[in-house]
Amino acid sequence: MPDILVGAMVRRAGPVAGHALGVLLPLLSIAPPAHAADAAASELPAITVTAGQADRPATDPDIPSTTESVTRDQIRNWNVINSEDALKYLPNLVVRKRYIGDQNATIAVRGTNNVQSARGLVYLDGLLVSNLLGNSYAFPPRWSMVFPEDIERVDVAYGPFSALYPGNSLGATVLVTTHMPDAFEANADLKGFTQHFDLFGVDRSFNGSEASASIGDKVGRLSYLIGVNRLESTSQPMQFATLAQSNTPATGADLPVEGAYFYDNQTGKRTAVLGVSGEGIVHTSQDQFKLKLQYDFTPTLQGGATLGYWHDSYHSDNPTFLRDAAGNPVYQGKVDIGGYEYTIPAPALAPSNGEAENWLYGLSLRTRRATGWNGQAIVSYYDVSHSVDRAAGQGGPGSGPGTATFGDGTGWKTVDLQTTYTPETAQGGWRAHWLTFGYHFDTYYTSNVTYDSLDWRAGDRAAFDNAFAGRTRAQALYAQDAWRLLPRWKLVYGLRYEDWHAYGGSQALGDVRLPYPEAGQQHVSPKASLSFEATQDLTLRASIGRAYRFPTVGELFQGRISGTNLVNNNPNLQPENDLSKELSAQWAHGNGVYRVSLFEDDVKNTIFSQTDTTVLPNVTSFQNVDRVRSRGIETSYQGQDVGIKGLDLIANAAYTRSRILANDRNPASVGKYFYRIPLWRANVAGTYHIDDRASVTGAVRYSGRQYNTLTNEDSNPNVYGGTSTYAVADAKFTYRLNRHADLSLGIDNIFDKRYFVYHPYPGRTVYLETKLRL
């Protein structure tokens, strides 16, 4: 976008809105003319566009993807408790966050659903915090390595169109940039929240709190930021124990009970609800610590260090709804419900608990020259130093036999080396090239051991039950060039070579140990994006990219052994092979930016957990679905002073049609909609700045029809066990008491909509927040 247009829009929007505009406009468009790049760079904020590649201008011409951004000023007007909440109103993107403090908050975007966690990348100041140990809801990004109050901005690049990222960018790449002080500062944030939730036999309030504090300064060449955070939260029930309605008459040996609830489940079948099960009502406590250092060795050479710590502990309550004639709770056995016999298995209402300690270490060194060659090196290490999950083997709240699973020593390591070339202004004519060359290395490793436990609460190791272990290693070389081949045309093209290996895989049960042979593949992924500046306001772009998403250690090796049979994993998986295409138009008009994008993801060998119905007995495991194609359209708008002065608006809508085109292992799924991809998503979030001290926000989130099975058999989706269509309204009022304190009141799900992602989402939640600063 030409600098004259950006400058005019920033001046019209005023200082706060102008800052947001300055960030958004060039980011969402492909590069300005080369003669404008340096001028715009001097007045616009920086954006992290690669792993650790900070301080490149927001007009960076190397961005070949559709990119959406939110800034610190926008986020503070929303109800943000956990860091992933910063993404809640972005186009065609949903975070599966079931409750405050949810450990399993995964991203769903375009044709990627919320259990395909390995199809997304999340970088924190260039450090990879994506949990690519598996590919399911249980492997979310490690959001807790950043405090919400620490976020400076979030940029989301859609699709695998950049050679700088691995095939895990098939869905989206999230780049989180945190705040770094340039003078002394001290901040504190206190939040309290509550929701009242009623469903089946639960009708009560669930409460929580969060507190954070940070201190930072810049002393000479050294900048530092130290922060701590504490979260206490109790969720609504996550799961319920259910049994299909019985047609077997009760006998005199069955215990008569009352308290069961009945409903028609997601497939329309009458179902009895016995109590809270599984994860249950989760009480979670999370402690975080963050230390970030930057040192300017010279005006153009900067080093950095990051230390992150996250401790999480939880326990679940699983109350039964069933009572005998004397009012005693009933957890298991044969019971008489309404004259029919039901058999409640022992683990159905069993509680659980666990804890984990996680460490993030990061080092960086980079040069920061305005033009010419620059280089950077980033290394990171994510260590799960301690992890244990304990589960009771029978119902009831007391102690007794169960299992304890230990995952100590699981984690990943990464190395990124990169060099870039930025042309001189005098050479910045239409023949200019912006070059990037790089090397990437990562290794992911897991080792889980499960023991039988005589006292599940203590998690003692009475007897070995089973174990699994495995490693993956990936190396990549890449090159990318952003070339202004004509005055109004820009071509960003690149190539990525990846060498992937899986090794050290094994599973064991007692004396039975099954090792797996090593596996390895090499692939080349070409990328290209061509943009045309049709006018000073309108940019058109066409992008295409090949991406290979390699299997994770969890998909390859994690599972269990039943007798001598291996289930729930597949060491012979092929990588996902995607060809992504996108056409987009972006128009800067008035005080806002409009975008329309057409996209298609055509994926061969989609890795997904499904049932192979072509063999007897049927086998459920991670398998390759032969071909899934997703097509859609996105529209988005971000603007300031929309209609009236002081009104900032985000509005977007997306239609996605994702279908299974071939699936030899489950032929009944061919032609069906793919798992949990809604036909429609839409968001509207408006913030009205009443004056310099007060603002009010209103927002609506919408998600349309989607399916919870590959064969689309869930005909009754808006119930527990289904995946709902929903429209949810949020609001927040913020008032600045003085220069040292803000007070805010917020509500999510204003109308107390009961909606589900198999698990129920939260009910109406009220927040009270106080921010303090020096």
Buried b (16+ CB within 10 A) or exposed e, 576-615: bbbebbbebebbbeebbbbbebebbbbbbbbbbbbbbeee
Q: Which residue has the tokens 């927002």?
A: 699
Enumerate the H helices of 3-152 as residue ranges. 3-13, 15-28, 34-41, 72-75
User: Where does residue 85 fall: left (phi above 0), alpha (psi -120 to 50 degrees), or beta otherwise?
Assistant: alpha
Tokens of 591: 């005080």
Determine if residue 614 is left, alpha or beta; phi over 0 gives left, psi from -120 to 50 gives alpha, anything else beta: alpha
> Does pLDDT of 128 surpass 80?
yes
What's residue 563's pLDDT? 41
**Interatomic CA distance for residues 662 and 664, integer angstroms:** 6
Burial environment of residue 124 by CB neighbours within 10 A (0 to 12, 13 to 18, 19 or more) = buried
Res 346: pLDDT: 87
By CB atoms closer than 10 A (0-12, 13-18, 19+), residue 736 is middle
CATH architecture, domain defined by 3-238+278-317+350-773: Beta Barrel (2.40)
Angle at 652 between CA 651 and CA 655, to 5 degrees: 160
Do residues 91 and 654 lie in contact, with contact meaning Cβ atoms separated by under 8 Å? Answer: yes
User: Which of 766, 765, 764, 760 is closest to 278 using CA atoms?
Assistant: 760
Q: What is the pLDDT of residues 35-87, one digit of tens each?
A: 333 332 222 233 333 333 333 333 344 689 999 999 999 999 999 999 999 99
- pLDDT given for residue 754 in this prediction: 97
pLDDT in tens, 574-584: 999 999 999 99
Instruction: Note the pLDDT of residue 39.
Output: 30
Token pair, residue 753, equals 């909509």
Least confident range from 171-180, 283-292, 611-620: namely 611-620
What backbone phi and psi angles, to 5 degrees, belong to 556? -80, -45
DSSP H or E run through 553: helix 553-557
Question: Phi and psi for 731 in degrees, rounded to 5?
Answer: -155, 155
Kindly state the average pLDDT of the residues 197-210. 96
Q: Which residues contact 738 (CB under 8 A, 6 or more apart)?
A: none
pLDDT of residue 336: 97
Is-contact 93 108, C-beta < 8 A?
A: yes
Per-residue tokens: 420: 């870039």
pLDDT in tens, 232-268: 999 999 999 999 999 999 999 999 999 999 999 999 9
Write out pLDDT tens, residues 379-409: 999 999 999 999 998 887 777 889 999 999 9
> Looking at the DSSP assignment, which residues form a beta bridge with residue 353?
315, 390
Quickly tell me which residue has 């460490």 as its tokens.
359
Residue 49's pLDDT is: 36
DSSP, collapsed to helix, strand or coil, labels residue 20 as: helix
* Whether the Cβ atoms of residue 724 and residue 717 lie closer than 8 Å to each other: yes
Under the banding of pLDDT at 50, 70 and 90, the label for residue 560 is low
- 511 pLDDT above the threshold of 80: no
Mean pLDDT of 661-690: 97
Average pLDDT over every residue of 606-629:
91
Question: How far, in Å, CA of 397 to CA of 399, rounded?
Answer: 7
Q: Are 504 and 468 in contact (CB under 8 A)?
A: no
Instruction: Identify the residue whose tokens are 């010279």.
Output: 298
Closest CA to 8 of 590, 656, 642, 573: 590
User: Could you read off the pLDDT of 760-769 as tens digits, one per residue?
Assistant: 999 999 999 9
Work out the mean pLDDT of the chain and round it to a whole number.
Answer: 89
Q: What percent of the chain has pLDDT over 90?
A: 79
By C-alpha distance, which of 145, 143, 23, 1 is closest to 73? 23
Q: Helix (H, G, I), strand (E, B), or coil: what is residue 466?
A: strand
pLDDT at residue 425 above 50? yes
The count of residues in the chain is 774
Q: What's the one-letter identity of residue 368?
A: R
